[in-house]
Amino acid sequence: MIFELIAAFSAFGTAIMIYPILKKHIESLALGYVGLRLIENIFYIVGALTLLILLTLSQEYATGAFNAQSL
């Protein structure tokens, strides 16, 4: 999970660093690149949250507090 969050921050940093370079050539390409990197960040963060949810669910199952009716 930590590596996914690091990847999200690095993808955001890459988008911010590349934007001025791409803006000199084609502004629409620069905005598209930043937009796609932001979507990538959302997927990284959702993936990290999913891992946390699965961890919580597995801990409840291991302690016996898991109830099949709660699903």
pLDDT along the chain (71 residues), means of 10: 86 91 92 93 91 82 67 56
Q: Which of 6, 11, 7 is nearest to 38 (CA)?
A: 11
Is there a domain that residue 52 lies in?
yes
Quote the domain boundaries for residue 24. Answer: 2-65
Which residues neighbour 41 within 8 Å (Cβ) at sequence distance 6 or greater? 8, 11, 12
Is there a domain that residue 71 lies in?
no
Is there a domain that residue 21 lies in?
yes
Is there a domain that residue 70 lies in?
no
Is there a domain that residue 29 lies in?
yes
Is there a domain that residue 31 lies in?
yes
DSSP state of 54: H
DSSP state of 68: G
Neighbours of 44 (CB within 10 A): 20
Task: Domain count for the chain, please give it.
Answer: 1
- Per-residue pLDDT at 65: 64
